[in-house]
Amino acid sequence: MAAVLRVSRFLPGRFCKHVAFAVMSSRSMASKTPVGFIGLGNMGNPMAKNLLKHGYPIIATDVFPESCKEVQELGAQIVDNPADVAEKADRIITMLPSSPNVIEVYTGANGILKKVKKGSLLIDSSTIDPTVSKEMAAAAEKMGAVLMDAPVSGGVGAASSGKLTFMVGGAEEEFTAAKELLSCMGTNVIYCGQVGTGQAVKICNNMLLAIGMIGTSETMNLGIRLGLDPKLLTKILNMSSGRCWSSEVYNPVPGVMEGVPSANNYQGGFGSLLMVKDLGLAQNTATNTKTPVPLGSMAHQIYRMMCARGYANKDFSSVFQFLREEDGQQQQ
C-alpha cells in the first residue's frame, strides 16, 4: 500500500483510486470464489462494485458494453453474454429492467441456463412478475440449479452505500448462502417465503411508494399555492402525522433537500417508466387475486400519463413537476 501512495503523486487521481482499490482487494479475492453479475445499470453497477469491495472476483456482462467499463476498471472480468458468465461462475446475480429481460437472460439462446453448472445458486434482484420468478426457478431446477428472487428497495443511493433492503423468496435451505452475498450490498436481507414472495413484497411496497409520492407532491403543491415556504412545510410535515419517506428522505420539491433527484432536475434515481412497470405488475396481480386497489390504479394512470408527456426517463418524484404543469403553473 505504501508503494501505491508513493506512486500516486505521478498518476491521475482516478487511476490511482483504482490501483489502491485493486491492492486492497487482491488478498481477499484470492480466497473467494467468483460471482457472476448480469445487468450493470443504475442499480447493478454500484451493487457489483460493493461485491468487489468485499473481495469477490466478479465476472460480468451487460447488453450495453459501455455499462461494463467502470467495474472492469476495478478488476471485474467482462464476458460476452450470460451463458459465458454461467460457464465461469456458480453463483450469479441478475439485475434487469423487466420480466422479458429476465426470461431472455435465463432461457434465451445465450442465456444462463444454456451453460449453468449443477448446484449453481442464481439470485434475481430484478423487479418482475412473481409468476415469471416461479417459471425461471422451475427451469433452473431442471438444470440442477437453484433460483431465488431477491428484489431490492432503497434506490441508487442505497445501492451505492451498500444499504439496500433485499426481499428474498426461494428454498429456505439456500437462504444462508444467498444472504452471504446480499449482505455485501445491503443492510437488510429478509426471507419472505418460497419463490415469488420476494417479488410480491416488492410490488406491494412500490405501489405504496407511488401513492405516497403522489400524495406528498399534491400536499406540497397545495401548501405552496397557499403561500407556505416549502422548506418550512416539509419541516412541519416531518414532525407531524403526515410524515412519510417521500417527505422526509426523498422530497419531490426542488430546493427543499440536497442529494435527491429533485435537486438535480429529476435526473438519476428511479425512472417514471420503471414505476409504470411496477404499478402494472401490481395491477395484474390485483386483478388475478380479485383485490380492490383503487388508489394503486389511479397512481398507475398518473404515471402512465407522465411518461406519455415526456417524463419517462425522469425520476418518479417528478410527479410534483407534472402536477404543477397540469395546474397551469410554470415548471419548477
Where in the sequence numbering do the catalytic residues fall?
A: 202
HSE, CB side, 13 Å, CA atoms: give it for residue 8: 15
Q: How many CB atoms lie within 10 A of CB 217?
A: 25
C-alpha angle with apex 140: 78 to 184, nearest 5 degrees? 50
HEC secondary structure over 282-298: HHHHHHHCCCCCHHHHH
Amino acid identity at 250: Y
Enumerate long-range contacts of 10-17, CB under 8 Å, 24 or more apart: none
Sequence length of the chain is 332
Q: Which residue has the cell 454461467?
A: 86
59: left (phi over 0), alpha (psi -120 to 50) or beta: beta
- Which contiguous run of DSSP H or E holds residue 6? helix 2-8
Cα gap 158→272, rounded to integer Å:
18
Phi, psi dihedral angles at 59 (to 5 degrees): -115, 115
DSSP assignment letter at 316: G
Q: How far apart are alpha carbons 234 and 241 in whole angstroms?
A: 12
Place of cell 437472460: 105
Give residues with Cβ within 8 angstroms of 222, minimum separation 6. none
